[in-house]
Amino acid sequence: MNYEFAPFQFSTFNFQLKKCFPLLLLTLLSCSPPAADHSTLTVLFTGDVLLDRGVRHMAEHKGIDYIFDDVTPLFRQADAVVANLECPLTDTVSPVNKKYIFRADARWAKDLRKAGITHAAMANNHTNDQGRRGLQTTAQHLTEAGIEPLGYGNNLGQQMTPAEIEKDGIKVAIFNATTLIIENWCRIDNKPGIAQPTEDELLEAIKDYKRHHSNTHIVVVLHWGVEFQPYPSIRQRALARKLSEAGVAAVVGHHPHVLQPIDTIGRMPVYYSIGNFVFDQKNPKAKESMIAALTFNSDGTLKADSISITITQGKPLLKNKHKTL
């Protein structure tokens, strides 16, 4: 049997290859390994927010929106924003006997949420300015507005229960407490109040949580330190070391009204004081502030950043107007 072979036509083969190449390339790409997961969860933390005195005047005439309008776009880029609420949000007028007494209107809770705030730290020396009833209604108004209160509860167990945030498998727990002795206020364990744990109670609550949530990043927000001091105390530094040893991922502090250094203990960033945020103090140093920005990555790492703020007539303004997360 005789076979007759047609001569090989390279031009025909080349044409067919060109036709098939896009399909071949698509097949190869579909077989390549999936792209690495680069999910992140970003939480912003602000210093003291006071909606009374001069800031009250601004809020009543220009609105809460105006006070926050420079930072709201940044807030909305974050997954959560934790602000230290330095006043009760209540229509209850029942002031305790102390030197500085604050109160803000309950209706402003909704405006704070609209500005981008998702969590309010209540464990400080002013949310109790209108007594326990004022404290209770503050937590109620925040919750109704969609803002989660931190460091508040009917007993120490509730007060030391952290807020939990989760995104794409990244988990963060935020504790809030104060180490201060508060003027004309006593801790009553089975009454509504703020988190005022002893150092041992704070550390034990964190260690216990860590035992049951080993894959969760823990952030501790502390109202601590000495007002207008530029540096943390020896006691604060010692507590920060213990928190690092307990497995805390980051510490964010306020109360001094001025900025204090950012330190790193092991891999744990410590913002000893991020200063004021919405406040009408005239001290020039009290007008310099920062937002602590913590970005948790899906590979388990943490990026700690600070965003510089200048406070003008009580209003926080970004120093870098083009700042993004």
209-241 pLDDT, tens digit each: 999 999 999 999 999 999 999 999 999 999 999
Q: Name the residue ranges covered by the structural domains of the chain.
A: 40-318
DSSP character at residue 98: S
| Tokens (6 digits) for 268 | 């744990």
Homologous superfamily assigned to 40-318: Metallo-dependent phosphatases (3.60.21.10)
**Is beta strand 288-297 parallel, antiparallel or unpaired with respect to 80-85?**
unpaired
- Residue by residue, DSSP assigns 231-270 as S--HHHHHHHHHHHHTT-SEEEEESSSSB--EEEETTEEE
Q: What is the mean pLDDT of residues 48-59?
A: 98
264-305 pLDDT, tens digit each: 999 999 999 999 999 999 999 999 999 999 999 999 999 999
pTM: 0.89
**Is beta strand 40-49 parallel, antiparallel or unpaired with respect to 152-153?**
unpaired
**What span, in angstroms and rounded, lies between the C-alpha atoms of 50 and 53?**
8
**3-class DSSP assignment, residue 305:** strand
Buried b or exposed e, range 41-76, using 16+ CB within 10 angstroms: bbbbbbbbbbbbeebbebbeeeebeebbebbeebbe
**What span, in angstroms and rounded, lies between the C-alpha atoms of 170 and 24?**
37
Taking a C-beta distance cutoff of 8 angstroms, is the pair 204, 243 a contact? Answer: no
